[in-house]
Amino acid sequence: MTNKPDILLIYTGGTIGMVKDYKTNALKAFDFSQIVEKIPELQQLNCNISTISFKEPIDSSNMDINYYIEIAETIANNYEKFDGFVILTGSDTMSYISSAISFMFENLQKPVIFTGSQLPIGDFRTDAKENLVTSIEIASAKENNEPIVKEVGLYFEYKLYRANRTTKISAEQFEAFTSMNYPPLVKSGVHLNFNKMILLNPTSEKQELIFRKNLVNDIVVLKLFPGITEKVVKAIISIPNLKGIILETYGTGNAPTKNWFLHLLEEAINKGIHIVNVTQCTGGSVLMGHYETSINLKRIGIINGKDITTESAIAKMMYLLGQNLPKDDFKTYFETSLRGEIN
């Protein structure tokens, strides 16, 4: 007879934690210490649930690296006491936050599941209850007394995705997220179906959790569009103290071949700014050198983002910039899968 898993529920803010005051019709923050009383279905789960709530719930639009660190520190400080973690945040920036958390932990051997909802937990038609109950069930799932999931995931509308593979695609549908370049880790139906072949499987040797909280956010996303001007690109590259650029290119990593454009990018690289090529497409991969329009990007030393999402590329860049790596090492690490974020 094994002990019931201990799950820590961390509420940071977001729609999922709101209930309606029927006297005023205003939304107010839900008291998560009363979670089991409010959602009796949780009593049917084979686990013990503890809760921690941020003193002031954070709207997802106000998330920044200080909150990333606060979330990660809460997990790190409670890592030995709990078997799994469920993090509730606003869905708008959930892919960014969860991607960042995935890079901040090395040797993670327990589930960290992010979830939220499109409707408040108190609404009649809410998606919050299913997302919450199933996230806790997944975080509790064990096999041979070991967690089945040992990575950072994002659960929404019957699917658990690898967090650093996700993108929010709808502000209205309950199926708010997708992962175009990597299949779901778990599908929820009558049973939970774990796709064990594609789960991250850290070494069976127990290794100490390493928590790296030095994130550098002196970066920018430069999205190309037909007709982008030299003046605009020059202004972005000239931002003081800029350390990294996520360059959102067309298709398989294609960009203008105009001399001024290539010259500005090369100038930035020579100044020590790291530039990563990611595709604007929701799915697919950058293939630098596949077309003539990306051969020069490869020649001047732009980093190949492969099939990484923009959200994950931002998180990975913040993380790697915080490690003070030499230029060549930075490129090597970025083009290598560290947490299953690229194929």
Active site residues: 15
Residue type at position 118: Q
| Cβ contact 132:115 at 8 Å | yes
Q: Give the span between the Cα atoms of 151 and 202, in whole angstroms.
A: 9
Angle of helix 310-321 relative to helix 94-104, nearest 10 degrees, comes to 40
CB-neighbour burial class of residue 201 (10 A; exposed 0-12, middle 13-18, buried 19+): exposed
Nearest Cα neighbor of 285 from 299, 305, 257 is 305
The pair of structure tokens assigned to 281 is 């497409």
The pair of structure tokens assigned to 24 is 């005023």
Nearest Cα neighbor of 75 from 129, 24, 37, 112 is 112
Q: How many residues does the chain have?
A: 343
Nearest Cα neighbor of 164 from 52, 317, 53 is 317
Q: What is the DSSP string of 226-281?
A: TT--HHHHHHHHT-TT--EEEEEEBTTTB----HHHHHHHHHHHHTT-EEEEEESS
Between the alpha carbon of residue 9 and those of residues 52, 112, 133, 326, 340, the distances in Å are 6, 10, 11, 39, 24
